[in-house]
Structure 1
Amino acid sequence: MLLTIIHRLSIIQLFGFGSWSVCYFFFLQRKLFKEVDIVVTRITRVAGIIYTMTFIVWFFEAYFGSDSYTFTIENQMFGSYAFTFWFQFLFLFLVTQILWIKTCRQSRYFRLIIGILLLWILEAERLTVLITSFHRDYMAFDSLSLLYPLILGYFMKLILFLIFNGLFYWILLKIINTGKLNNHNILK
């Protein structure tokens, strides 16, 4: 259960970072935005590592667990849609770790592309269900019943992202202002 919570929090951070990167393209010139962006990118790099570690733990638990999970994992990893399985895992890891490179981290256009791709990849399955339900031949239930939870889920993820990163930024400012950190370049 703890692994699921940690994995879900890392996904929320990655989703929030995708939204943040789209905003980064438009609001880069503001000083506060630049300072908060430093904190957000640092947390996102850690979230990428945590996502990768929870993914690996999940893989070993599922693969060496019961036979039904073993079949499912083998089918996902080596089946006809294996590219989607590997692409999501590798993309999320590589995007978060490329943020260690300063030029990539500060490029507005790179961040815009990464932000849009992150939002698309993390929500592709939900969007597929939503689009399929809007298709004219598949109207088994009220299609709008899927839209409201989807929008509410987006807002909840963004609120959690903003609270977590804002709290981390506030704590970092308090530590710097009390003089417990000698390195004042931490927000530069």
Structure 2
Amino acid sequence: MVERVTNAQAPSNWNLPNVLTSLRILFIPVFAWLVLSQRWWWAFGLFVALMITDKLDGDIARARGLVTDFGKIADPIADKALMITALVTLNIASTLPVWVTVVIVIRELGITVWRFAMLRRGQVVPASKGGKLKTALQTLAVGLYLCPLPGWMDTPTYVVMLVAAAVTVVTGVQYLIDARKVNQ
């Protein structure tokens, strides 16, 4: 679904949801350092905290009417930056196959560029239910890779990541199909 942007009275960009989004962006390098130095529990804890701020900022913004243009742009950038950082650092510091990262990154960046193009046309593309499922699966998969789990969990962890990658591709294609239907 594609929404038209309106210029109604907009809330200030200086609000709690935008501060949470900004903090998420600022802590990504710390997260990367923790993963690369294989401080797995600390990396996992910070990842969980950053993902909680992702949920909180959106919930607070919608509940309190604090949705801003900055938030609409910065929140997805923060999400993509965190997930891409997680995947790339896991390629370097763990057993995550590079091809998984390549597939997910191409989809994520491709849809982000497409969303910005739609935004320039005055259309905001909100996250779909499939997109939310994709985020949940990616989060679970990355969380499993970050946890120092026993060896017997390697296969289930990999399977969760494969499912996350598949849903990532399918939802990316679905966004484009839905947009095409709306614009016809």
Decide: shared fold, TM above 0.5: no
The TM-score range, normalised by the shorter chain, is: 0.3 to 0.5
The structure that is helix-richer by fraction is: 1
TM-score scaled by structure 2?
0.34
